[in-house]
Structure 1
Amino acid sequence: MRRGLAVCALAAGLLAALPAASRTAPACPVGRAVYAMAGRPDVTAGFRFVSKREGWLSEWALYVASAKTGRRYWFLFDEGSAQYVNLISTEDVTKPGWSPPPSDGGPRPLGEMHYLASDDGLSYSLDLPDQRRAAPRFILLPDLSEVLWSRAQPREAVPVAVFKQTGCKAAG
C-alpha cells in the first residue's frame, strides 16, 4: 500500500515538474490542422491559405471533403453583421485562375452557413482563422447537413456534427 502511494506521489511530482507545454498536445498552426467529422471519419475538413483579398476578412479558406462522393466543398470566411462567423461558399480555390467572388455578391454554389470554433475546453471563439494562433480543436458547422442535402449536386447526407482535430500535417 505504501509503495503504491509512493509511486503515485513520485509520478505526480514528476508531472508537476514538467513544463506545461510538454503535458499538453502542441498547438497546430491553422494551415496544418486536419479534421474528421465525429462519427463520420470519411468526412474531413481543413484550411487552405488563399491570401487576403479585397473585401474579404481572412486569408484562409475552409474545405469539407467527402470520401463517399469524392467532392471537396470550399468556403470563405465572412463576419457579416451577426455576432458569429459566417462561411460563404465558393468555387474550388485550387483551380488555376480562381479568384474570390465579390464580398457583397457573386457565385456562391452552396450559399452561406455558420462556423463555430472551440478549444479543448469547448470555449468558443469568434476569431477568424489566423496562422499566428493555434488551429481550433473543434469546428461546428451546424448548417452543413442542410447545405449539402439541399444545395450540393449530387445531394449528400451528413449529420449535424462536430469536426475534431485529428492531426497536424508535417511542416513543409
Structure 2
Amino acid sequence: MKAVVQRVIKANVTVEGEVISSIGKGLCVLIGISKDDTKKDMEYIARKLLSIRLFENDQGKKWHLSVKDKGYEILCISQFTLYHVLKGNKLDFHNAMAAEKSEAYYKEFLDLIRVQYQADLIKDGKFGEYMQVNIQNDGPVTIELQSPQQKKNVSDLQSDDV
C-alpha cells in the first residue's frame, strides 16, 4: 500500500462540477492499493498517516506535531495509478488491486482511520469516479508512505533486475 501525503491549507474533490468533499488545514492523501496488500499494510499506513510529524508546534518548532495532535482534517482519495508500471510509454496497472476488491479494502481503510482518529475529520472522494482534486499545498510538503511489505517487494524486484 502506498500513500502520497500532501500538507495542505485547503483541498477539495469535485465530480461532474460538484464539490463532494472539502477540508481546511490538514492532509490530502492519495491512496494506492496493491493486489498483494493485506490488513497489516493497511494498519501500517493508517498508523503512519495519523502519527507522522508534518506540522509545527505553538512555539514554531517545525516537524513536531501530527495531524492528530493538531486536530486537522484528512482528505483521502483512492488512486490506483500509484501502482503503475511503464511498458515503454504505456501504463500498465496489473500491480493494482482489482476495482471490486479494492473498493472494499479502501472503505475498510477509511473506517480504520475514522476509528483511530475522529470520524468527522476524515473525508474522501468518490471511489471509481473521474475526479478533480484541488489542493493548496502548504510548504510545499509532499511525502510518500509505503507499507513494509511493498518496500520488500520493490527491493526484491530491484535485486532480481541486477
Q: Per residue, is there more helix in 1 or in 2?
A: 2
Give TM class, smaller chain: under 0.3
Structure label with greater radius of gyration: 1
TM-score (norm 2): 0.28
Q: Per residue, is there more strand in 1 or in 2?
A: 2
TM-score (norm 1): 0.27
